[in-house]
Structure 1
Amino acid sequence: MKLKYLFLSLIVVLAFSCDTNDEDYEFVQVATPQIMNKTAFRSSVEVDAPKDIETVGKIYAYKDYIFVSDESKGVHVIDNSNPAVPKSIKFIKIPGNEDISVKNDFLYADSATDLVVFDISDIDNISVVGRLKDVFNVYDYNVPLEAQAVDYANYDYENDIIVGWTITTERRKKQDSDVLINMFLDGGRVLNASESATGTGASLARFQIMGHYLYAVGNYEMAIFNIQNLEAPVLANTQYAGWNIETMFQAEGYLYLGSTNGMYIYNLNNPALPEYVSEFTHWEGCDPVVVDGNYAYLTLRGGNACGQLESVLEVIDVSDKSTPKLAGRYELENPYGLGIKNNMLFVCDGTAGLKLFDKTNPLEVSFVKSYDDIQAKDVIPLEDKLLMIGGDMLYQYSYVEKGVELVSEFEL
């Protein structure tokens, strides 16, 4: 009997060894979603006391307040009535949140598949006043960058929400890139009125408010909401927006969508149904964009999941929206967000710090100054000050001749 079991064990070992060497197989990093029932998920929104941020996301400014997102967890509210001494005052728990926009004291936030509306007219008594369910068919599931495949086997799209991920190493049969792409897209359905007060987002934003409409972009879809009745928005339309959309910027009746492969331009002649105008294509890279007049400025970050080529600042001539053209390219180290104030272009160059460029002549953008002792992720150039986040810090600067001067540093 012992010889029999030894023989069977030997067969198993030999079979596994032969299979391991089979060129048709490979070891793959597989992401499996951590899920929550939608009912429990939707009931978990609440307003809490201030707390430390776990993972700094995006920044938004409205009146005397700064909102900083905690990736997929919610939004921290900072009282900035005294920029020299900002103070964290609230944490709005919004699971699955990435972006917000504010108009006339109503805050709109994505919560995975839903749009949630908050009344913030009394900042001490923030309340939920509305929720549109399942309006985002495509939202950013924040699949870990190291994932090579996604396992949606136990995910029920209709009744579950993805709240996190588990990474395991599995031995799988090799699949081409098209199959992996389909796993991401198909496996889980992934992939102003003149008197109004509207907040200001940074260049990494996916939400924009123009007039009576809120525009929100996901990986490849745009959702358009009519917010004429601020506390009861209505989903007006959804449409294909492009491929791998990451950011959105609005200027003079146009939307500029930054993707990993280019920049898409849409006009808002019919604000309920943005119309595709053109596309500027570049190599693959993470791509926020801002626009001033006849020129768009975008950064491309290479490396990791963003592409394999160099990191640059590109200047695009958009005077003819139907045929955007490259007007200039400048090397950077690790760029993220950017912003414009008059003729100064502020570029967040990641670990290389904040860089300032003079764009008086957009065809010959010139380097002015670098603040390289900080980490810079994104900026909001307000009328009287520059807001910037980087690492776990919020920086505020005043504008000075040919540069900026630090007003305060606030640990998030």
Structure 2
Amino acid sequence: MRKLILLLVIVCCWSCKNDDSQFEIVTVAIPETISKMEFRSSVVVEAPKPILNVGKIYAYQNYIFINEKYKGVHIIDNTNPSSPQTIAFINIPGNEDISIKNDVLYADSAVDLVVFDISDVNSISEIERIEDVFSVYDYQIPNEAQEVDFGNFNAETDVIIGWTLDQQQREFNDINTIDTFDGAEASNGVGGSLARFQIVDNYLYTVGEFEMTVFSIANLSEPTLVYTDYAGWNIETMFYADGYLYLGGTNGMFIHSLENPAAPQMISEFTHWEGCDPVVVDGDYAYLTLRGGNDCGQDLSVLEVIDVSDKTQPTLVAQHTLDNPYGLGFKGNQLFVCDGTSGLKIFDKTNPLDLQIIDTFTNVQATDVIPLEDRLLMISDTALYQYGYETESSIVLVSTFILN
């Protein structure tokens, strides 16, 4: 994921250079924008379509929601897990995450929080929008870009929807100015370990690159912003367990207490080398994957076990080498780890200090999992897999649903 702290290119007219000057050609990303008014009017429910850029997964009742990165949410009817059916697509520009409570769906849309009534999935409606509550969002900067030119972007009136790449001449080794651009019992759904939204009681917690934003949802259809504060650095995931939020960042895990649920307080940080890292927590132990390479930093990829019995002093107690890990989840003593192109790996965590691998599914690409009570959901870039719990130590494939 390209980060939100970016080089702001100062565009200026070049003065005459002497003959000894050296130049290079760099690839500059220039944002394509639309007005916020046009952006906010583009939410619409559409017919089912293939998922071309698979994002995160979420389960609610008999439905599975799959994010199309930065585009919206696909809804799959999973009443029959052996034959799931895509039934609709909610076009939500700038969307990455959702969370659901009592038939009300909350979704980010770039800088906005959008609220939907999904009590009738055949007649979904937008019922509320809170504008400009997220100060930063993922601009999806092209990987080819060496520099970014925000010179013509007005964050007050516009939203970035794409990029134009331009080859421009720069004086060799010329250093540009570095700047920061800010741009009844409840029925809740379940997200995967890559989620950045969590509903706990009457609050919706969201995290961005370095910021936590909290909404009161005591009135489900009219959420109110109650808190915004620093959450940690390069935050990518969030997991809730036993009164605490565990945030996974590229250089550490941050633990926040919900003693005051309207204003979470960071109480400790577990620091590691730089790597992409979702985290899940069961009792006194946190399980965290670090994926090295690419934008994530270091080359080493591992599964870490962290003792969090003392929330003020999380301690690394075990480490296991993996190939290309992404999301993870657990049910009972089974720990499911998505190891990318190396497939799904299942560990016995009866003794967290001595995890034992008990099964591996190498014929799949694994990105994230949601262990439900009666089955395991797993997603890849191309397919949704569903497994049944055959025994306490084994699972069996129920269905494979091709997404694109």
Q: TM-score, normalised by structure 1?
A: 0.90
1:79 to 1:308, Cα distance in 2 relative to 1, 3 A: same
> In 2, Cα distance between the equivalents of 1:226 and 1:197?
16
Alignment-derived partner of residue 94 in structure 1? 92
1:338-358: CA deviation from partner (whole Å, max 9, x where unpaired): 011111111111111111111
Q: Does 1:410 align with 2:380?
A: no
1:170 Cα deviation after fit: 3.4
Q: Does 1:340 align with 2:330?
A: yes
Alignment-derived partner of residue 3 in structure 1? none
Correspondences of 1:209-224 after superposition (within 5 Å) = 209-224=199-214
1:167 Cα deviation after fit: 3.1
1:258-284: CA deviation from partner (whole Å, max 9, x where unpaired): 000000000000011001110000000
Q: Does 1:109 align with 2:111?
A: no
> In 2, Cα distance between the equivalents of 1:332 and 1:315?
13
* 2:289 aligned to which of 286, 292, 299: 299
Alignment-derived partner of residue 65 in structure 2? 67
Q: Does 1:351 align with 2:341?
A: yes
Q: Is the 8 A contact 2:273 2:298 kept in 1?
A: no
Seq. identity, %: 60
1:16 Cα deviation after fit: 9.1
User: Secondary structure at the residue paired with 1:39?
Assistant: helix
1:283-306: CA deviation from partner (whole Å, max 9, x where unpaired): 000111111100111111111111
User: Secondary structure at the residue paired with 1:320?
Assistant: coil
1:395 to 1:176, Cα distance in 2 relative to 1, 3 A: farther
> In 1, Cα distance between the equivalents of 2:281 and 2:254?
12
Alignment-derived partner of residue 120 in structure 1? 118
* 1:205 aligned to which of 192, 195, 204: 195
1:73 to 1:17, Cα distance in 2 relative to 1, 3 A: farther
1:367 to 1:120, Cα distance in 2 relative to 1, 3 A: same
Q: Is the 8 A contact 1:35 1:163 kept in 2?
A: yes
Alignment-derived partner of residue 251 in structure 1? 241
1:380-411: CA deviation from partner (whole Å, max 9, x where unpaired): 00000000111210000001222211000101
1:27 Cα deviation after fit: 4.4
Q: Is the 8 A contact 1:145 1:305 kept in 2?
A: no
Q: In structure 1, what residue type is equivalent to 2:96? A: E
> In 2, Cα distance between the equivalents of 1:175 and 1:242?
32
1:296-324: CA deviation from partner (whole Å, max 9, x where unpaired): 11111111111132111111110000000
Alignment-derived partner of residue 395 in structure 1? 385
Q: In structure 2, what residue type is equivalent to 1:134? A: D
User: Secondary structure at the residue paired with 1:40?
Assistant: helix
RMSD: 1.7
Alignment-derived partner of residue 276 in structure 2? 286
Alignment-derived partner of residue 10 in structure 2? none
User: Secondary structure at the residue paired with 1:76?
Assistant: strand
1:148-200: CA deviation from partner (whole Å, max 9, x where unpaired): 322101101000001122334434353669x55x3xx32xx14xxx7000000
* 2:21 aligned to which of 16, 19, 22: 19
Q: TM-score, normalised by structure 2?
A: 0.92
> In 2, Cα distance between the equivalents of 1:292 and 1:166?
45
1:27 to 1:332, Cα distance in 2 relative to 1, 3 A: farther
> In 2, Cα distance between the equivalents of 1:170 and 1:372?
45
1:343 to 1:310, Cα distance in 2 relative to 1, 3 A: same
1:217 to 1:403, Cα distance in 2 relative to 1, 3 A: same
> In 1, Cα distance between the equivalents of 2:36 and 2:262?
29
1:146 Cα deviation after fit: 4.0
Alignment-derived partner of residue 4 in structure 1? none
Q: In structure 2, what residue type is equivalent to 1:165? A: W
Alignment-derived partner of residue 48 in structure 2? 50
Say which structure is richer in helix: 1
Alignment-derived partner of residue 76 in structure 1? 74
User: Secondary structure at the residue paired with 2:57?
Assistant: strand
Alignment-derived partner of residue 372 in structure 1? 362
1:27-63: CA deviation from partner (whole Å, max 9, x where unpaired): 4433222211100000000001101112000000000
Which structure ranks higher in relative contact order (CA pairs < 8 Å, sequence separation ≥ 6)? Answer: 2
> In 2, Cα distance between the equivalents of 1:308 and 1:16?
41
Correspondences of 1:265-280 after superposition (within 5 Å) = 265-280=255-270
1:169 to 1:357, Cα distance in 2 relative to 1, 3 A: farther
Q: In structure 2, what residue type is equivalent to 1:127? A: S
> In 2, Cα distance between the equivalents of 1:169 and 1:294?
53
Alignment-derived partner of residue 83 in structure 2? 85
> In 2, Cα distance between the equivalents of 1:175 and 1:272?
47
> In 2, Cα distance between the equivalents of 1:280 and 1:142?
28
Q: Is the 8 A contact 1:338 1:347 kept in 2?
A: yes
Q: Is the 8 A contact 2:291 2:300 kept in 1?
A: yes
Alignment-derived partner of residue 143 in structure 1? 141
The structure whose Rg is larger is 1
1:199-246: CA deviation from partner (whole Å, max 9, x where unpaired): 000000000000000001010111000000000000011111111110
User: Secondary structure at the residue paired with 1:123?
Assistant: coil
User: Secondary structure at the residue paired with 2:39?
Assistant: helix
- After the TM superposition, which segments of 4 or more aligned residues of structure 1 sit over 6 Å from their partners? none
Unpaired segments of 5 or more residues in structure 1? 1-14
Unpaired segments of 5 or more residues in structure 2? 1-16
